[in-house]
Amino acid sequence: MQTVIRSNAQEVIISPEHPTVIIGERINPTGKKRLAQALADKDMERVRRLALSQVADGAAVLDVNVGAAGIDEVELLPMAVRAVMEATDVPLCLDSANAEALRAGLEAYEGKALINSVNGEEASLARVLPLAQEYGAAVIGLCMDDDGIPSTIEGRVAVAQKIVERAASFGIPAEDVVIDCLAMSVCTDAAAGRVTLEAIRAVRETLGVNMTLGASNVSFGLPDREAINEMFIAMAMQNGMNAPIVNPTQARKGILIADLLLGLDEYAMRYVGYVRSQRK
C-alpha cells in the first residue's frame, strides 16, 4: 500500500516499508499572531521562511493552512501554495475545511497534492471527494462524522471504512486515502490516547491504508508537551501511523529513532547521518 504524492520536482512515498514521512505543520496561523497578520497583509515572506526551515529540519511534505479570523482562504491558500512552491521542492498537503479554498489551492498547485481533509459527514464527502478525483490528489480522511469523534475504537474504524468505500465509488483507490484516527487530550479523558493508538492498529489490520496523525492534541493542557508528543508519536508509529503532522524541529529525532527501532533505517544510515549533522 503506497501513497505517492508529488511536486513538480520530487516524489514522496508513504508506505509501511518506507521511512516515516514528516509532514511539517508550521505553516498554520493557529497560535501565531505574526503569521496571521502577515497573511492578512498578503505578505508571504514568513510563509517562505517557515517552508525553508521545516525542510531543513526534515519535513518531506509541508502542510499549508491559512485559516484565521479575517482571512479569505479562497484567495490566500493559492497565494501561500505558490509561495511555498517557489521556496522549496517538497510536495504539499493543502489544509482547509473550506472546499472552495481547497479547489483554489489545487488549481495553483503543480503536482499530486495531499488534500487535508475529508471526514465522514455526507456534506464533506460530497464536496471534497470530487476534488480529489478531479485533480488526481490523495486525501486525508478524518475519523469523525456528524456525531463528532467516535469514543470507541470500532466507531473510528467504521468512519475510516466509510471514507475508503466512498472514495472508491469516486474512483479514488485506497492507496490515495490516508486515514487520521485523531488525537484527543489525555488531560480530560484518560482513555483518549489508548483509543487512538488502538484505532490506528485496527485500521491498519482491517483496511491496510496509510495513516497520518496531528499528534500534538494528545498533550493539550499538560506540562512538557514535547515529551508527551514524542512518546505518543513513537507508539502510534509502532501501530501503523506513518505520516505524522508535526513540528519537525521538535519531532524529527524521536521519529528517526522510532524508525530505527522498527526496522525502517537500514544500517542506521539516517539516524547516524542526523546525529553527525547535529554535531557540526
Residues lying near ligand THG in the complex (CB under 6 A): 25-26, 28, 30-32, 65, 95, 116-117, 140, 180, 212, 214, 216-217, 245, 247
Q: From the CB of 215, what's the least distance to ligand THG, in Å?
A: 8
Which residue lies nearer to ligand THG by CB, 95 or 259? 95
Which residue lies nearer to ligand THG by CB, 7 or 229? 229
Q: How far apart, in whole angstroms, are the C-alpha atoms of residue 243 and residue 267? A: 22
Q: From the CB of 247, what's the least distance to ligand THG, in Å?
A: 5
Q: Which residues of 69-104 are buried (b: 16+ CB within 10 A; e: fewer)?
A: eebebbebbbbbbbbbbebbebbbbbbbebbebbbb
Q: From the CB of 252, what's the least distance to ligand THG, in Å?
A: 14
Q: 274 burial class (0-12, 13-18, 19+ CB within 10 angstroms)? A: middle
Which residue lies nearer to ligand THG by CB, 217 or 238? 217
Q: From the CB of 144, what's the least distance to ligand THG, in Å?
A: 10
Q: How far apart, in whole angstroms, are the C-alpha atoms of residue 233 and residue 23? A: 13
The one-character DSSP state at 64 is: E
Which residue lies nearer to ligand THG by CB, 33 or 276? 33
The one-character DSSP state at 218 is: G
Which residue lies nearer to ligand THG by CB, 213 or 260? 213
Instruction: Please say whether the beta carbons of 219 and 193 come within 8 A.
Output: no
Q: From the CB of 280, what's the least distance to ligand THG, in Å?
A: 25
